[in-house]
């Protein structure tokens, strides 16, 4: 509502206490379950509903069937790095140094807010830190800093306090999901339906939790549906792996329940229902899909064959011990991405692009791409990111950043290779770039000599055309978890986690593994502790700080094993890569929930799986 601009933080804090606000109380809608019946079919980028075959008829005839409702709670991004901005006006030009994942989107939104051309704004976001989707768009810190700077005529810094972040930025909305699956005695799915409800402010978007169900498993008769309720809660929007993360939290428990009903191994059930084509559009094949490889390799590495399929049979002292697994799936998104690449008379290569680094290693993989394309050592490449003065990139989000941005750098490097070969008088089709030199037809020259004192700089971008229409694109994996459930208290401790993943060419195994173990840790939090609790009298999140909104700490995180299958997807991009940053979160929570069932025989369908939901059944 207001910003106080002062010389010091202490002054500003004291002055805010002088502001008096009068409120008028009004009734609000704060409960998704209460508003479920009033939810409507939303407008979405993807179709809100899909239907193939005769689901109702096939489900009625199915020899084995399950029909259950699952819920996931509101969740907070809970990034360690807050929303913070420094804004400075110089005449009619504004520069903001901010924490933002999508630099060009921020510039576009500032242009709309202030009614000025995009050229009036410069956005710098060289190092973002944690965002997880909450920083895809600018928030109040950017706008308030800009307004404060314009009024005061001086640079202004605004950092949102932790309680303000939870209730005044964005969050992952809660969901209610009904899943029905029918199968034959052989485990082959004959009917599958996934209906999901979520809420948001007027004009908002749903949590697209049924999207993965359209592509993950075979089955001739199928339907999915999304419904959106209007809620007067803080904005619901993208949080790491939007759609698939909460969707798989439900779907993969449902698959485990189907396996129990069939008396079939959960890994074997998933293998039996693999498909190499889009189940809704069989004419559209997957660009690359080794889901079965993930299941088999993951099961072997984890020691799945040692699992006792009968729940509650394995003990370690007071602990009931169980194993669970779940599929991992995340759509492979691509986005137009540009870059500028230059080389100077010293042979130093510089890359400029407005791509951001949110802890994913963008600086590293972009430097690797340029070094590989131009045949120079990695230490001779300088990467400059996160500035709207640079060419527009894909930005960081939706698991599209690494693949798309490096493909854009690849395109610029191809153009630079052509320019260097032409300047050297060498045929580009025969030119080789290695050891800082260009070689062709027996001739060789250093890149530094070819560049000369003026250097050579080019700019280009990558576009992906109708790739998504031609091929179904996705990344796959299999999660495995072992947990202990305290037989007296119901406390759950994850003992180990493991995953095998197929995500195209892995650009950097170390940074990719870091992304996946971080995502698996977020899945652990979603399974066992994360829940933004709504005060349904006033419509806000009560646990709005890190003391009360619980996320995993070091003591909660067990050994994590990550394995990447050797895969290239030549259709996805020139890099033959796909996204990987969100895949580790998709399904990991369900693997833990399924392990709790195997340990205790208690099926929890409402996340998080907290001890109060377990202990009563344990006593019984």
Question: Which residue among the candidates 207, 252, 567, 582 is catalytic per the annotation?
Answer: 582
In angstroms, rounded to a whole number, what is the distance separating the alpha carbons of residues 197 and 212?
A: 15
**Integer angstrom CA distances of residue 400 from 192, 204, 530, 542, 598:** 29, 23, 26, 33, 35
Both structure tokens of 601: 């025989």
578 three-class SS: coil
Closest CA to 612 of 491, 482, 484: 491
Label residues 377-391 b or e (16+ Cβ within 10 Å = b): eeebbebbbbbbebb
Closest CA to 276 of 236, 216, 220: 216
Handedness of CA 269, 270, 276, 281 (dihedral sign): positive
In angstroms, rounded to a whole number, what is the distance separating the alpha carbons of residues 42 and 601?
A: 38
4 three-class SS: coil
Both structure tokens of 599: 């340990």
Closest CA to 99 of 158, 162, 13: 158
Strand partners, 88: 95
- Residue at token pair 């299941």: 295
What is 208-222 written as a DSSP string? -TTTGGGTSS--SEE
Strand partners, 485: 320, 492
Q: How many CB atoms lie within 10 A of CB 476?
A: 30
In angstroms, rounded to a whole number, what is the distance separating the alpha carbons of residues 52 and 219?
A: 9
Spell out the SS3 assignment of 139-201: CHHHHHHHHHHHHHCCCEEEECCHHHHHHHCCEECCEEEEEEEEECCCCCEEEEEEEEEEEEC
**Integer angstrom CA distances of residue 305 from 266, 560, 596, 602:** 11, 19, 18, 22
- The answer to whether 483 and 592 are in contact (CB under 8 A) is yes
Please compute Rg for the chain using Cα positions. Answer: 26
> Cis before residue 366, ω within 30 degrees of 0?
no
Closest CA to 100 of 466, 376, 355: 355
Angle (nearest 5°) at CA 309 between 307 and 312: 95
Both structure tokens of 333: 């998104």
Instruction: Tell me whether residue 350 is exposed, middle or buried, using C-beta atoms within 10 angstroms of its C-beta: 0 to 12, 13 to 18, 19 or more.
Output: middle
Tell me, yes or no, if 582 is annotated catalytic: yes
* Number of H-type helices and E-type strands within the chain: 16, 23
Q: What residues are labeled active site?
A: 582
């Amino acid at each position: 509502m207001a910003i106080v601009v002062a010389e010091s933080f202490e002054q500003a804090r004291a002055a805010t206490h002088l502001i008096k606000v009068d409120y008028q109380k009004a009734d609000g809608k704060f409960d998704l379950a209460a508003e479920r019946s009033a939810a409507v079919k939303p407008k979405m980028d993807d179709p809100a509903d899909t239907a193939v075959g005769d689901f109702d008829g096939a489900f009625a005839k199915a020899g084995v069937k399950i029909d259950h409702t699952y819920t996931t709670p509101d969740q907070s991004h809970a990034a360690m790095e807050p929303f913070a901005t420094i804004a400075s006006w110089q005449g009619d030009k504004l520069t903001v140094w901010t924490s933002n994942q999508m630099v060009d989107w921020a510039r576009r939104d500032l242009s709309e807010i202030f009614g000025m051309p995009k050229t009036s704004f410069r956005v710098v976001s060289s190092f973002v830190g944690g965002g997880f989707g909450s920083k895809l768009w600018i928030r109040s810190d950017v706008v308030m800093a800009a307004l404060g700077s314009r009024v005061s005529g001086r640079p202004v810094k605004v950092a949102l306090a932790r309680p303000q972040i939870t209730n005044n930025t964005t969050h992952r909305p809660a969901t209610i999901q009904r899943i029905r699956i029918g199968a034959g005695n052989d485990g082959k799915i004959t009917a599958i339906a996934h209906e999901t409800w979520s809420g948001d402010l007027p004009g908002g978007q749903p949590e697209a939790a049924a999207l993965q169900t359209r592509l993950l498993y075979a089955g001739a008769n199928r339907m999915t549906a999304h419904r959106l309720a209007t809620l007067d809660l803080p904005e619901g929007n993208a949080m790491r792996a939007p759609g698939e993360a909460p969707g798989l939290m439900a779907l993969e428990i449902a698959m485990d329940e189907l396996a129990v009903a069939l008396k079939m191994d959960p890994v074997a059930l998933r293998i039996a229902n693999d498909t190499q084509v889009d189940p809704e559009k069989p004419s559209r094949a997957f660009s690359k899909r080794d889901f079965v490889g993930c299941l088999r390799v993951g099961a072997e590495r984890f020691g799945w064959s040692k699992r006792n399929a009968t729940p509650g049979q394995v003990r370690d002292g007071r602990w009931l011990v169980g194993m669970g697994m779940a599929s991992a799936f995340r759509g492979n998104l691509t986005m137009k991405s540009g870059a500028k690449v230059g080389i100077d008379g010293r042979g130093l290569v510089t890359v400029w692009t407005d791509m951001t680094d949110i802890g994913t290693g963008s600086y590293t993989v972009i430097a690797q791409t340029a070094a590989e394309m131009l045949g120079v050592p990695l230490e001779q490449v300088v990467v400059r990111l996160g500035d709207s003065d640079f060419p527009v990139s894909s930005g960081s989000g939706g698991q599209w950043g690494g693949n798309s941005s490096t493909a854009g750098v690849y395109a610029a490097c191809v153009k630079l290779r052509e320019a260097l070969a032409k300047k050297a008088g060498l045929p580009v089709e025969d030119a080789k770039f290695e050891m800082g030199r260009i070689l062709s037809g027996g001739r060789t020259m250093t890149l530094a000599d070819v560049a000369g004192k003026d250097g050579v700089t080019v700019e280009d971008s990558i576009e992906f055309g109708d790739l998504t229409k031609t091929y179904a694109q996705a990344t796959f994996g299999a999660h495995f978890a072992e947990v202990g459930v305290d037989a007296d208290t119901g406390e759950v401790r994850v003992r180990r986690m493991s995953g095998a993943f197929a995500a195209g060419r892995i650009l950097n195994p170390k940074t990719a593994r870091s992304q996946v173990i971080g995502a698996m840790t977020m899945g652990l939090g979603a399974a066992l502790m994360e829940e933004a609790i709504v005060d349904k009298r006033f419509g806000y999140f009560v646990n709005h700080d890190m003391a009360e909104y619980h996320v995993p700490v070091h003591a909660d995180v067990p050994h994590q094993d990550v394995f990447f299958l050797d895969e290239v997807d030549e259709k996805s991009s020139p890099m033959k890569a796909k996204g990987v940053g969100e895949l580790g979160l998709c399904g990991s929570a369900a693997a833990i929930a399924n392990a709790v069932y195997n340990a205790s025989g208690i099926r929890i369908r409402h996340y998080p799986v907290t001890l109060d939901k377990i202990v009563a059944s344990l006593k019984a």
